[in-house]
Amino acid sequence: MSGQLSGRVAVVLGAGSLGEGIGIGKAIALAFAGAGAHVAAFDVDLAAAQETARLCEEAGGRAEAGAVDVLDDAALTAAIAGVAERHGRIDVLHCNVGLGKAGPSAATSAADWRRIADANLTSLHVATSAVVPVMSARGGGVVLATSSIAGLRDVGYPHLAYGATKAAAIHFMRLFAIEHAAAGIRANTVIAGLIDTPRIRKTLASSYGGRSFDEARAARAAQVPLARMGTAEDVADAALFLASDRAAYITGTELLVDGGLAATVRQAGT
């Protein structure tokens, strides 16, 4: 994979991890840096973004870090503009933002819904609007988004606002891809299945009926035909492929990284 993005500049939104370990955004940043890109790693948590940038550089890559709240339209636009000004280009934008609220939908207030929708969907519009002029001026680029299996199907526990907005994000990327294809901009979505990341330690047990973390983790893995949860690196490998010239004729579509989960039917009692 080395050298696939040599000389390019990649912006990764949501590049930090919630706790120790490797989350999807961090893994994507590391994969892009390992393939030769200069990575601008952004996260709402500056320390998390800095940790990602440090790991990229320790692995021999080039990276910078910044704090940005994707709910702040002006700050998000300015962050992307700053990268373009410093480097004269942006070749890849990967929007890896995910906000949700598990549990019965009646417990999701209108304010919760707006915040989740703004994070998962509106930020896509703001970020892509900021990067399109930069990419168009250079004859093209790649825009990627991370969506979720929850945007395609029920995953065994209530997650309505997250699932609905992640479904909308998939269609946003399809329409965006067609609108900007003539400018040489490719756009695709990586749909992540049940992935083993630091985030699940904060949400998993409550989503699986109050089971212990180990019990919930085992139940989650058992849902997948390949009998394991995916890793952040599994998702990052797909993102790197789509960002590279190996995917030069791929746009307006999705790459499922789910161990076969989307092809299954949940059995009664599971």
The answer to whether residue 1 is domain-embedded is no
The answer to whether residue 205 is domain-embedded is yes
pTM of the model: 0.94
Other beta carbons less than 10 A from residue 137's beta carbon: 13
pLDDT on residue 8:
98
What is d(CA 260, CA 62) in angstroms, rounded to the nearest whole number? 35
The residue range of the domain holding 13 is: 9-263
Averages of pLDDT over runs of 10 residues in the chain (270 residues) are: 88 91 96 98 98 97 98 98 98 96 88 97 98 98 97 89 97 98 98 88 61 78 92 98 98 98 73
Q: Using the Cα atoms of residue 71, residue 72, residue 76 and residue 77 in order, give the sign of their dihedral.
A: positive
Give me the torsion for CA of 21, 23, 28, 29, rounded to 10°.
Answer: -60
The answer to whether residue 268 is domain-embedded is no
The answer to whether residue 3 is domain-embedded is no
Is residue 162 annotated as part of the catalytic site, yes or no? yes
Contact status, residue 4 vs residue 245, Cβ threshold 8 Å: yes
The CATH number for 234's domain is 3.40.50.720
Contact status, residue 113 vs residue 161, Cβ threshold 8 Å: yes
Q: Which residues pair with 187 in a beta bridge?
A: 143
pLDDT on residue 1:
47
Give me the helices (H) in the chain, please. 24-34, 46-58, 73-87, 110-117, 123-137, 160-180, 200-207, 213-222, 232-243
Tell me the DSSP string of 174-222. HHHHHHHGGGTEEEEEEEE-SEE-TTHHHHHHHHTTT--HHHHHHHHHH
The answer to whether residue 47 is domain-embedded is yes
Catalytic residue among 157, 162, 208, 249: 162
pLDDT on residue 184:
98
Q: Which residue has the tokens 């746009």?
A: 251
The answer to whether residue 139 is domain-embedded is yes
pLDDT on residue 216:
76
The answer to whether residue 42 is domain-embedded is yes
The answer to whether residue 178 is domain-embedded is yes
Domain count, the chain: 1
